[in-house]
Amino acid sequence: MAATDPVLYTLVYALADGALLAEEASVAISRTTGSSEAKTVAKGYAGETPGAPMIELDVSNMVPAAGIEFNAGKYMSTMTPIEMGLLAFGQQLTFKGFLIGDSLKHSVNGDAGYDFKARGAFQDWE
């Protein structure tokens, strides 16, 4: 393949409780180790001390006139765990966690959007 050949890039699909979020407009995932730097007098930076690894997932959905497709509030109000997932590049990343925030936005000449955030234990793509 030459450097100038066009490339087909992946799409990312979001899932909530196993259901495809068809109104999803964007997703962002952040995985962190929760580690802390280990410093010593003799070595300076000596490595990392393991921490609590986790995932944070931000999902932005479009809002049709009929209403929101997925209501994070019903999980948030009772702190009910939920399975969240992403499908991309032929692999899936699934984790159980909690929905920790949501927001609704709208503006003149702008779209209506419903955003929510999930947090859970670290998982890898499979």
Looking at residue 75, its pLDDT comes to 97
Q: Is the pLDDT of residue 2 over 80?
A: no
Query: How is residue 125 written in tokens?
Result: 């793509």
Other C-beta atoms lying within 10 Å of the C-beta of residue 108? 4
Give the residue-averaged pLDDT of 66-89: 97
Mean per-residue pLDDT over the chain, rounded = 96
Residue 1 predicted with pLDDT over 70: no
What is the rounded CA–CA span in Å between residue 117 and residue 99? Answer: 6
**Residue 10 to residue 29: CA distance in whole angstroms:** 15
Question: What angle (nearest 5°) sits at the alpha carbon of residue 118, between those of residues 76 and 51?
Answer: 120
Q: How many helices (H) and strands (E) does the chain have?
A: 1, 9
Share of the chain above pLDDT 90, in %: 97
Read off the pLDDT band of 126 (50, 70, 90).
very high
Assigned CATH for 13-121? 2.40.30
At residue 33, the pLDDT reads 97
Neighbours of 25 (CB within 10 A): 15
Q: pLDDT tens, 4-58?
A: 899 999 999 999 999 999 999 999 999 999 999 999 999 999 999 999 999 999 9
pLDDT at 28: 97
pLDDT 10s digits, 81-92: 999 999 999 999
Helix (H, G, I), strand (E, B) or coil at 77: coil
